[in-house]
Amino acid sequence: MHTPDIQIAQLLLESGNVVAIPTETVYGLAANIYHKEAIEKIYTLKNRPRTSPLIVHVDSVARCETLVAHLPEKAKQLMDHFWPGPLTVLLPKSDQVPEWITGESNRVGIRMPQHPLTLALIKNCGFPLAAPSANPFSKISPTTAEMVRHYFEDQDVFVLDGGPSQAGLESTIVGFEDDQAIVYRLGALSLEDLEAVIGPVDYADKPNKVFFTPGRFPKHYAPNTPVLLTDTPEVTAMQWVEAHAGKAAVLSPTFTFVHERLHPIQWPENEALERVASHLYRTLFELDQQGFDCLIITPFPEEGLGKTMNDRLKRAATK
Ligand code: TXA
Ligand code: MG
């Protein structure tokens, strides 16, 4: 059933087209890293600033080794442990990486995704795939083929449908300085996950030395509906009702107010964070379609994937 779709995707990629690919994190908008015009199409489709480099997707550690100038021991340990999986390593690039992938950066972000269709596709193509998340710039990353089709319905983008993304959050991006691991973007691997393998890691939650800090545009991952993030949903909801017309959805496990313009949405409290994460983007996307004038959301506990989800919610709430 899927084989012909993989073949179509391969033919399109070989002839310099962009194809949407499934991964365990989110769907990506993929092209051959060596095809300059194809890469240009990605930026145009996403309306993405050219200064923002693309993650390179490989099907093996061996391929990764050809793309980097130096592989620190801790990077190798993380790759051995988490690949294929939601880990992107940011490493000094070799001359095998064209400059149109990395912009002004002398580092390249590389990951080996964990999805059988996409791994087979990369293997069949024989070239690595550059792939940012398959959303227009600053919108919520897609975790289903339907979301990708919605975003690019007017463009002719072939979507390799691999079902809903299992993790539902982007990969965690890790760089290395003098043997110290630094997390530049929290993602589907938590700080705790990384530390269990290599010991203490730094988290660059403020923009720092790197010329560009990945995924750090303040407004990002945003639905069209305004988002208010609050620890006191009752207070925020009443203030909102007094100041605005229309209706708000309230995403909180504890909200009990009854009001005709406030719509409580079941928001998980005791569910495993992995499960919640896998549905988060799709839930926000679907709420966005439902015509609310505001989404009032309470954050998750600041631990494990809760930290990643809160990072995304904060960005979604940035005006
Ligand atoms: O889970 C993921 O990582 C998904 C799937 C499709 O693999 N991809 C993804 O790509 O989230 P994107 O482009 O949406 O986010 C990657 C972030 C961007 O902020 C980009 O600027 C940054 O990583 N980045 C990529 N390569 C970089 C480099 N060489 N130097 C600095 N930042 C880099
Ligand atoms: Mg993205």
- pLDDT tens figures, 31-83: 999 999 999 999 999 999 888 899 999 999 999 999 999 999 999 999 999 99
Question: Do the beta carbons of residue 160 and residue 28 sit within 8 Å?
Answer: no
The two domains 4-203 and 227-317 share their CATH topology (first three levels equal):
no
Fold classified for 4-203: DHBP synthase (3.90.870)
Ligand 1: lining residues by beta carbon, under 6 Å: 23, 25-26, 28, 52-55, 88, 90, 102, 105, 107-109, 111, 113, 131-133, 170-171, 173, 212, 214-215
Q: What is the pLDDT of residue 208?
A: 46
Distance CA 188, CA 258 (A): 35
What is the reported pTM? 0.95
Distance CA 209, CA 213 (A): 8
Q: What is the pLDDT of residue 218?
A: 63
Looking at the CA of residue 30, tell me the nearest atom of ligand 1.
Answer: 6
Question: Do the beta carbons of residue 2 and residue 121 sit within 8 Å?
Answer: no
Domain ranges of the chain: 4-203, 227-317
Query: First and final CA of the chain: distance in angstroms?
Result: 44
Pocket test for ligand 1, best of 55, 97, 101 (most atoms within 8 A of CB): 55
Q: What is the pLDDT of residue 59?
A: 98
What's the gap in Å between 206 CA and the centre of ligand 1?
17
Q: What is the pLDDT of residue 206?
A: 57
What's the gap in Å between 154 CA and the centre of ligand 1?
25
Q: Which ligand is nearest to the CA of 212?
A: 1
Looking at the CA of residue 48, tell me the nearest atom of ligand 1.
Answer: 13
How many CB atoms within 10 Å of residue 247?
16
Residue ranges for the chain with pLDDT beneath 70: 1-3, 206-219
How many CB atoms within 10 Å of residue 106?
11
Using one digit for the tens of pLDDT, what is the confidence trace for 234-261?
A: 999 999 999 999 999 999 988 988 999 9
If we measure between CA atoms, which residue out of 253, 222, 257, 220 comes closest to residue 236?
257
CATH number of 227-317: 3.40.50.11030
- Could you tell me the two tokens for 175? 């760089």
Note if the bond before 207 is cis, omega within 30 degrees. Answer: no
- Is 221 marked within a binding site? yes
Residue nearest to atom 23 of ligand 1 (CA): 214
What's the gap in Å between 185 CA and the centre of ligand 2?
11
Q: What is the pLDDT of residue 170?
A: 98
Q: What is the pLDDT of residue 211?
A: 40
